[in-house]
Amino acid sequence: MENHQAGMSTLVKGLHHVTLCPGAAQEDIDFFTGVMGQRLVKQTVLMDGSIPVYHFYYGNAAAEVGSIATTFPYSRRRGRVGSGQVSAISYAVPIGTLRFWSGHFDRAGVDHSGILERFGGRYIRVRHPAGLLLEVVEDAGDTRHPWTTGAISADVATRGFFAAVLSVRDVCEQETFLTEALGFRKIGVDGPYHRLEIPGSGRARVIDLLHEPDRAGGSWGFGAGTVHHLALNVETDEALLRQKAIYEELGFTDASELKDRYYFHSLYVRSPGGVLIECTSNVPGGFYQDESFEELGTKLHLPPWYEDQREAIVAMLEPVVVPDAGRPSGGATRIVRPPDPPALSPVVFSRTKPRFTGR
C-alpha cells in the first residue's frame, strides 16, 4: 500500500526554496546580500514566459537546499498582497542574536517589527523595499553554514530557513492538504498561528498557517511585492513522480507536468488555501553545473537551451552590480559541495523555449 493511502506521505523532507517577486533588481540584490547577509548563489532568468526577467538565487555559504530564496525582480507590475499567499519567510539565527539584528536593521534603515514571539520563539519581522516580509527567528543548535559579510559575522548570521508563513482565510482545508498530500503534522496553535512540520530532525521543516479570515485574497500571478510560491524538497525524480500520483489520487488533477528547471526538477500544484506549492528533486551537479563554488552568483548564466538567444535576453535586462560581499572568503571555501543525487530516472521533463522579442 502506498503511504498516501494512509494519509502519511513521507516524500517531503522540508523546504527547498521560496520564490518572491521584488521590484527593481539592484535594490533586491542590495537587500538580500547587504541587509539579510545572504550569498548571491546564482544569476539566471525566469524560465516561463517570453519576456526576460532575472532569476536570482540567494542562500547560505554552501547554497544548501532549505536556505534558498529566489527572486523574480518584476518591476513591470505590482502584485496585490493578501491571503492565499506566503506572507513571510523565516530565517533561523542563533539564540541571543536578536539585539544584533534589531540594531543591524536600524543601521540599514529598513522597517522592522522589533522583537516578537510565537510558539515560544523570538523573532523580528523585517520589510524588503518591495514590501515583502522576512523574519529572523532564534533557533538553537542550527549548524548549517552561515554566509558572512563585513557587517554580519558567523556568530549571528542566518543559517538557512526556519519556516514559511502562509496567510489563509480558512485553516482546515490547507491543513488537510499539508498533512494528507505532503506529510506534515500539526504540532500546535498560538493565537492566529497554526504550526505544522515535517517529521524528522533536519532543518527548514516548519510551515506556520496564519489564520486571517477577513483578509482579501492576494494576487496569484507575478507581481512586485508578493511571494509567488514555496518549494518543498522531495530529493529524487522517483519521489517527484510519486508525489504527482499522490496529488492525483487525492483529486488534485491540476498538478502540473514535471518541469526541467535546469538546477532541479519541479512539479507545481495550487493548494486549497491559494498558495502555489512546488515540489523539487535535485539533479546531479545542482548549482555547480555551470560555475564553481567560488564563482557562484558572479555572472549571468542561462539554461543551455536559451544560449542562442543570449544577446536578445541580456539587452532586455537591467544591468546589475554584484557586491564584493558575494565572493567567498575565509572559512566559506572549506565547505564541501553537497553530494550528487542518484542518476536520472527515465522521466520526460518539459522545457520552455520561448522567443524573446521585447517588452
Residues that bind Fe ion (CB under 5 A): 19, 231, 278
- Comparing CB distances to Fe ion, the nearer of 132 and 231 is 231
Cα 176 to the chain's mean position, in Å?
22
- Comparing CB distances to Fe ion, the nearer of 156 and 269 is 269
Cα of first residue to Cα of last residue in the chain, in angstroms, is 51
From residue 274, alpha-carbon distances to 9, 160, 228, 235, 249 in Å are 21, 25, 11, 24, 20
Q: What would the grid cell of residue 29 be?
A: 540584490
- Comparing CB distances to Fe ion, the nearer of 39 and 261 is 261
Q: Which of 38, 72, 14 is nearest to 322 (CA)?
A: 38
Residue type, 334: R
Beta bridge mates, 163: 90, 206
CB 83 to Fe ion: min, Å: 21
- Comparing CB distances to Fe ion, the nearer of 157 and 224 is 224
- Comparing CB distances to Fe ion, the nearer of 19 and 83 is 19
CB 46 to Fe ion: min, Å: 10
Beta bridge mates, 57: 42, 70
CA atoms within 13 A on the CB side of 231: 27
Length of the chain: 359
- Comparing CB distances to Fe ion, the nearer of 41 and 231 is 231
Q: How many angstroms separate the CA atoms of 134 and 124, rounded?
A: 8
Q: How many CB atoms lie within 10 A of CB 263?
A: 26
Q: How many CB atoms lie within 10 A of CB 301?
A: 22
Residue type, 93: V
CB 164 to Fe ion: min, Å: 12
CB 232 to Fe ion: min, Å: 10
CB 278 to Fe ion: min, Å: 5
- Comparing CB distances to Fe ion, the nearer of 112 and 259 is 259
CB 17 to Fe ion: min, Å: 6
Residue type, 321: V
Q: How many angstroms separate the CA atoms of 8 and 137, rounded?
A: 29
CB 320 to Fe ion: min, Å: 21
CB 264 to Fe ion: min, Å: 8
Q: What would the grid cell of residue 44 be?
A: 539566471
- Comparing CB distances to Fe ion, the nearer of 208 and 278 is 278
Q: How many angstroms separate the CA atoms of 175 and 167, rounded?
A: 12
